[in-house]
């Protein structure tokens, strides 16, 4: 990663164990795609209702070539997210899926571009290559 990942706590005390868990998740994402250039994680607890529980939300911003991928998981109905580590896990699973989709799109576009380049450089036309014309 070109820049140091940032882990922020929004209206929460800084917890080094949570920060380390977030950094571990970032390292796992880098194994999926090693061209991530930046990452910012925001961990918050926006819904502080005593009756409904204290649920965490996690936002993951990934900067990659070709754009920025944002995952904002605010599970205000999922009581499993009263545990910050579960909220982190779920957010990073979603970020991983989004990153894999991005990589797949890049690979597909690269194949299309390479095929179009080969097609144009071979002098082929849009006509059927199997059609014989004297």
Quick one: which H or E segment has residue 98?
A: helix 84-121
Asked if the structure places residue 1 within a domain, the reply is: no
Asked if the structure places residue 65 within a domain, the reply is: yes
**Average pLDDT, stretch 47-69?**
82
Asked if the structure places residue 58 within a domain, the reply is: yes
pLDDT at residue number 18: 96
Does residue 128 register a pLDDT over 50? no
Number of domains into which the chain is organized: 1
Does residue 12 register a pLDDT over 50? yes
Asked if the structure places residue 129 within a domain, the reply is: no
pLDDT at residue number 52: 60
Asked if the structure places residue 17 within a domain, the reply is: yes
0.85 exceeded by the pTM? Answer: no
Sign of CA dihedral 89, 95, 99, 105: positive
**CATH classification at residue 39:** 3.30.160.100
Supply the mean pLDDT for the chain: 82
Asked if the structure places residue 99 within a domain, the reply is: yes
Residue 99, CA atoms < 13 Å, CB-side half-sphere:
25
Asked if the structure places residue 87 within a domain, the reply is: yes
**Average pLDDT, stretch 104-114?**
74
Asked if the structure places residue 133 within a domain, the reply is: no
Which domain range does residue 20 map to?
6-119
pLDDT at residue number 96: 96
Does residue 132 register a pLDDT over 50? no
Distance, in Å, from the CA atom of 7 to the CA atom of 2, rounded to the nearest integer, reads 16
């Amino acid at each position: 990663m070109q820049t140091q990942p940032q882990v922020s706590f929004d209206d929460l005390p800084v917890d080094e164990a949570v920060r380390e868990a977030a950094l571990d998740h970032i390292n796992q994402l880098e194994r999926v795609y090693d061209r991530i250039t930046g990452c910012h994680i925001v961990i918050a607890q926006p819904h502080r209702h005593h009756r409904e529980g204290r649920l965490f939300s996690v936002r993951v911003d990934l900067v990659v070539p070709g754009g920025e991928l944002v995952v904002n998981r605010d599970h205000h109905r999922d009581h499993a997210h009263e545990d910050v580590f579960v909220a982190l896990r779920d957010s990073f699973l979603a970020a991983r899926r989004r990153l894999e989709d991005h990589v797949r799109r890049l690979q597909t576009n690269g194949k299309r571009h390479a095929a179009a380049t080969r097609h144009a450089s071979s002098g082929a036309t849009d006509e059927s290559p199997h059609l014989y014309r004297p």
